[in-house]
Structure 1
């Protein structure tokens, strides 16, 4: 656990686009990727996101950032390896069982 987490502060570095970006995240608690945001220069395909999330497993909490997702897209984020989902825009109704807002 980092000193920041012990103090109640967590550090997230988001918008990763390559597995190699994980090296620069040393000391962070969470890392994030953006999926389903075609206007973002950091937007990734599910396949690209899965590769980065797999490389981050065990080293960081992994976050997928989605824009106004459907419940199915939220479920896909967890299947892709996310530990957390961050929603920008509208939060869908009818979330899959076990998910919290």
Structure 2
């Protein structure tokens, strides 16, 4: 399969949780991240084609970066079965200039 990503995704074993900004619901944890998108895993991942306003919340040792707010389009989603985690892939569609530097700093530390 041909790789269509223009930016390398950085995988992480560090904890960065993703929350819906409006409901406050935890969507899952980052599995990987680039300046254009991310993949998350969680018990109840969003459906494909949903557009969400998200907060990325780094846990120690990355917590000093602070939260990052962005808009994301869920391109695909695979729910988990029998207690397994689900996965979802997102394209970042809205990122304020003030948040872009924080996102790049997070990517650099992964």
Tell whether the structures are fold-level matches, with TM greater than 0.5. no
Question: Where is the strand percentage greater, Structure 1 or Structure 2?
Answer: 2
- Smaller-chain TM-score bracket: under 0.3
Question: Where is the helix percentage greater, Structure 1 or Structure 2?
Answer: 1
Which has the higher relative contact order, 1 or 2, with Cα contacts under 8 A spaced 6 or more apart?
Answer: 2
